[in-house]
Structure 1
């Protein structure tokens, strides 16, 4: 931006607009750019020369099919993104970083690093607030408003309380929370925070929030649980009236590839065994899911589920034709 100070204000605004157009599309003809900027093609040529003088390598093709383009592969700071565009890009990259698709996570994080390097300082702080406040236990469906994400991300960064209306079942209540982290899953965005009125760590789905507002007073951060693990366990187990634990005779990595992260928590016990924790309204469904993994397993608790497994086993044995 310092170089643009050498250009008068009105011209600088037009040159920035020209740079934005060149970033938006691969090739523009002179008349197309003139029409977009409401100037003559001669002015476009002068503004292109100004961009070149500022270090931007703008190529100009000759002839009927020619046009203007930024040289491929060139870094062009500052990146011309509106506030909502920058946040949208960051949200999409964060979702990609935790999407669980081979190769996308590392590439998405690398892209976030590049985005951070070319954004103006004002937007860089906003995007950093979002990236530092987000963890993941699976790719997220980005279905929440960017301004809601930014409000909560800033509150996590600035350590200020947030208030919001929260829909839980048939009830809607006002909650006061010390926000800690935003967490993405395979289907939703969550906020992990300390519920002031309930004196406990709670998980909130962002799509169930409304009237979200950051408060003006700060809080002293408390010792916090691992955000992604805490939210995953809540989604897969604690949120249900009944929970079960199994010892599965298979490597944890193998079982994690078979069970969605939102359905169960898988913890390694040793190279050949892992513990699976899951919840449900009816534990028969969990028992069936674990049985269908195809590995030997044992029910750790509850005791009645172990009895249920034995009963189902006897029934299946009787179903075998003689």
Structure 2
């Protein structure tokens, strides 16, 4: 027999975790032991809490299934390092309960061999805090995700942004379709049954009602891609991942000086000292104001709505300047 019983069992467990079904004959060959030894090692793993199901048939075999308790877990070196780094990111990004993630990270580091502990501690980084980062109750995240997976109508109370703090949350009924995490926040994309329209809800403002409602047939999110749909809603658009207002103008500024400050727009070089910007925003006035921040001459504005927005801002700015004491 190859190796000590303990090392052989660890290798057996590692094999069982890499695929769904393992014929007993293949396990015997991989471990270089008899079928009887494999059966004995399987029994010992079961005693440790691993739920290993025997597969009947000509080839026979074994399958590692989820059990009712959490047994000891086995990770290879790269998996262990990835878990430690992921927990460190989760603790600082708002993607999970920070305290729970730090406790889990401490637990993982405590059992890591010194060579792996040095690798994880050598990965040093600073996570910039998100202005929108919020923490979501784990129970809410689990309940909403379960309703999404089971296609069950969700009943919940929702505290809308900007509401009267003394007002009671509104009652909602919705078909939950997607749970999305982005920019430090958790969102639910759902079809609101009372409004008859798609809505986006923040999970940190949501209190789940029990029990859930009946099952429903899933709808297709507008455009077919939940990421584009959500990005569009954040831009104020109901037509996918596009800005409601898109315009262009020539700036008295070299393209190289404008490019660092244009996120999802287009910068075209006109000549050495000028560039054309094609950008979008949620309103024409907001778009005009965003172009004004470059502190440069602005010409060849299009379309007409954008030019009118510049005219409106000019009057507002003139009035603001006139009200200042001399």
**Higher RCO structure, 1 or 2 (CA under 8 Å, sep 6+):** 1
Fold shared per TM-score above 0.5? no
Q: With the length of structure 1 as denominator, give the TM-score of the two structures.
A: 0.45
Q: With the length of structure 2 as denominator, give the TM-score of the two structures.
A: 0.44
Larger radius of gyration: 2
